[in-house]
Structure 1
Amino acid sequence: MGIMGFLRDRMGKILAFFIGFALLAFIIGEVVRSGGSFFRDDRNELGNVSGEKVAYDEFAKKVEQNSTQFRQQSGQGNLSPQITSYIQETTWNQMISQLILKKEVDKLGLVVSDDEAKSMVSGDNPNPQIVQAFGDPKTGQVDKNKLNTFLNNLAASKADDPVRQQWSDFISQMIEAKLSEKYVALVTTGLYVNSLEAKDDYEAKNKLANFKYTVLTYASVPDSKITVTDGDYQSYYDEHKNEFKNQQETRTFDYVSFNAAPSSADSAAIKAQADKLVTAFKATKDDSLFVQINAETKAPLVYVHKGRLEPKLDSVMFNESNGFVYGPYLSTGSYKIAKLVDARTEPDSVKARHILIDDRTIGVEKAMAKADSLKKLIQGGKSFAELANMFSVDKNSAVKGGDLGTFGRGAMIPVFEDAVFSGKKGDLKIVASQYGVHLIEIEDQKGSSKVVKVAIVDVPLKASSQTQTTVYSKAQGFLGSLTKDNFDEEAKKAGIQKKTATDVRGVAAALPGIDNAREIVRWAFNAENGDFSDKVYISDNQYIVAHLVMIKPKGILPLDAVKKQIEPMVKNKVKAKVLTDKFAGALNGVSSIDQVAQKVGSQVTPLENIVFANPVIPGSSAEYKVIGTVFGSQPNKLSKPVEGQQGVYVFVLNSFTNPPALTNAVREKQQMAQTILQSADAQIFEALKDKATIKDNRAKFL
């Protein structure tokens, strides 16, 4: 009874201990499997630069900012995986460059003082972007009145005004750029070209060599006539080891793709669906609403000039009357129906200015009323430019009196364009858009041509669920048949072509034939060599199964990883030994290159005016070793065999033509220094990146 009582009394503590122990073991197990640490929060660590963390949330914020900027500049609404990958890569490089530079700048104690920062905005030598935004086109100088008005408006604006944050970001970027400029100037000041270097460079570009050569090409020796040993591979690898430095980890995998393209039955069913829409499209009174309800691509209805529609429509719509319906027709993977909504004649281009009123805080009605009040002030003689400077939230145009310049169709949002292209010179118009309420003045209109507004309903040609299920089952069956070593064999049995994605980086967005490949790339970077994919991956109409065949780690790659890559060069090295021996035998007892060529069954080719700085043999390729040997030779003396890029050479130097003596070493030194400086910026940062320890975890996040 004593023991049972003891257990009853302490059972709660015992259970709590074991439950706590089990929970801790579970957490530790999960952490070990995920490669993280319970006590160190690295789940947000996208990367690390010499101990400085690159946070994922900060990276994601900057990617979104850069993506928004790209959309505004390009006019693209949706970004493709390739464009998204490009923006992510650019953002990553910006962030690691900033961290690397910051370490160097802090180490050297470089700063941009408050006075310097102010000078870059309002001093005698302002930043070029300040000149661009606030400059007077006539003088090319900053308009102090415009700049001061903007700064005063900024100081008076609310703390949450987005323009404040934009200005703060601009100042920060300007200071970072100035620090970078200071650091580069500090390094490049130490670059120097001496007189001997100037003389060598002058002679390399102007000293001429005249010689004859004969060559035995590597192609003249069949692969079947040579034996390549492991020692040959090792020897070549050891000589060129530094060429095999992998800057980032890469992975190579084979894959097969089961195509779930729409069947003929699917196509017929979708065509019938489109046919049913034609009657309703003809009858509708609200074409825009009809498009929004029935189209896959819900594009706004806008006026366009001839040449802006796809060819099938462009040749029809400019010759028909309103209400005409064309289609269904097949285009870019969809059945489409097009309706001519309106046609009219309008200007080719418009010059306009506007005052943009923010309706987010006061509402659309009050913003419209404010715009109407400003309109009456302008009609009463008030300056549009002054009012724009005072009231417009579009600060980029406000500093220029609201001026938007001259533009054609497609440059502005549709509601804005409809207002300025349908009005006449001198009109003041008020319209609301997603950006706020615009008070617009049409300053000028030029040209005249016909435009049309066409509503398009598209019905995508997609595989039916039955087709998708059938193809997915085939892919799943293929995956289920795989073992560690039978991927190629099973692909042949299934009659599917195997493809290879070679040296894929962890942030790759697309692969040959696969536009959206992030999921499968992410799998590859979490798999072990020899693994096949854990599931069937889907990309558009493709069902993909993959097999990881090679992992190339960051750093110097081992011989096995580059063996296939260096095979042609290794074979040429072995062939070079054969050809060198052949030339060596031919050189015995001869006194001319013609005799050597005759013995080996080759020809003699004369060359004139070859310079060391351009070591190219005409009709062949760059032959650095051959041309270098020529310039180190004595005239009228047969050379020993020289192993080149295309084959083994023997030559005889006829003569050198020396250039006039260098009389202006100063100019030569300046030209060389300028060339060095032009590439210095990029080389400095590449050197800093090589020196830094950069950990890249993007493959696990993106």
Structure 2
Amino acid sequence: MAKIVEDFSKAKDIFQFALTNSDSRSLDTSLKAVQFLPKAVLPILGNTDTVIGPLMGENGISLYRIARIGEDSVNFSLDARHILVRIAGSTAEDSATAKSKAQDILRRVNAGNFTEIAAAESEDPLTKDKGGNLGWIGSTDLGPQFAEAMADASVGSFKIAETTQGYHVVEVLNRTNKLYTVAEILRDISISTATKDSIFKRASGYHGRVLSGSDFDEAITDFAEARTQTSGRVTPGEFSLLGLKGARPIIAWAFKNEEGFINDEILESENAFVIARIQSKGKKGFRSLEEVHTEIEDEVRKHAKAKFILAKLNGNNSDMAATAAAYGEGATAGTATDVRFSNNFVQNIGNEPKVVGRTFGLKQGEVSKPIIGNNGVYLVKLDVLNASTPLVDAAIAMQRQAIQQAKIQKAVNAAYQGMIDIADVRDMRYKFDN
């Protein structure tokens, strides 16, 4: 690897060298703003002859080199930290009150400790305990008003910017309009034959114990590198299991054998040796109460907890931050941007169709009643509702065609499934999987 690092730093055709020496067959040669670059290259921005690495990552070992530098004539990037002051209501007086508080904070940070003031005053729960640090962001990431306010902000300066979230007291730590292309050499980490044989020998020792009657969890105490896991319900057509790569042979084995059976030969996935026991096998048709007991219990617990939370949220909830503080542990206030009626995913909380639907039924500044969602109980306050840009006729025609095609495909799939159901076709392809 040391030789590759040296040669990479001297290579004239950086992209060709990276592609030739990488286990990845793709190479991104586009220019990107700082916030989209690997964090590892931030210390060497501007240096095109320096190699960073080798660094261990999720996909293997990486080497990085800045291959190209350009400029953006319109947008810029900021390394900044902020203190957010939210506007409590929708009136001009509410806005003036928040702005006055932001101006007071601006005076204090000019003479005081930004980190301490952010922890005490900021209403951004994601950054207040990190000194208000936003990291590198694009000038338009927080909206056009933010970009306008920061247009002439120099490094080390403090500014107030108004956005849909409220007023931001911002310190500019760094800024640039540079764009960069990073060349990466990615090398896969493959296990050696000797290591694989050693792991297999250990797996065989554990396998022998459970075949002799030892309990799975008890036997594992002498094998620190191993762990036991229990899957959920698995169907014949599945390919994934408990995070194992290439788990299809294990699933096929399970459907070929009976309840309580332990594999007589060690099963192998792409990233593990597996000793498996079939805990239970369900019958075709509706699942028994015993099989769904845990799922029902979880839902009942969630419903009971939701009722408890609802009781605590009764009252005036117009101030989100104050409501969260009054509720106590477990409650947080935050802001979700770019919420769309066509998308059930909400920033920071996940898949919440009820929250999305209720949001679009609110008026600006209005607060919803508590909403029992998939992942919690929510109060929603609509800060800003942006009117959509009317589609041109050509775009409408394209959307209409896409919807029609989706409906046709749905009808075809339903008809196909109907024929399978009528013919009582059973999926037994697992019999042919090894």
Which interval holds the TM-score relative to the shorter structure?
Answer: 0.3 to 0.5
| More relative contact order, 1 or 2 (CA 8 Å, 6+ apart) | 1
Pick the structure with more helix per residue.
Answer: 1
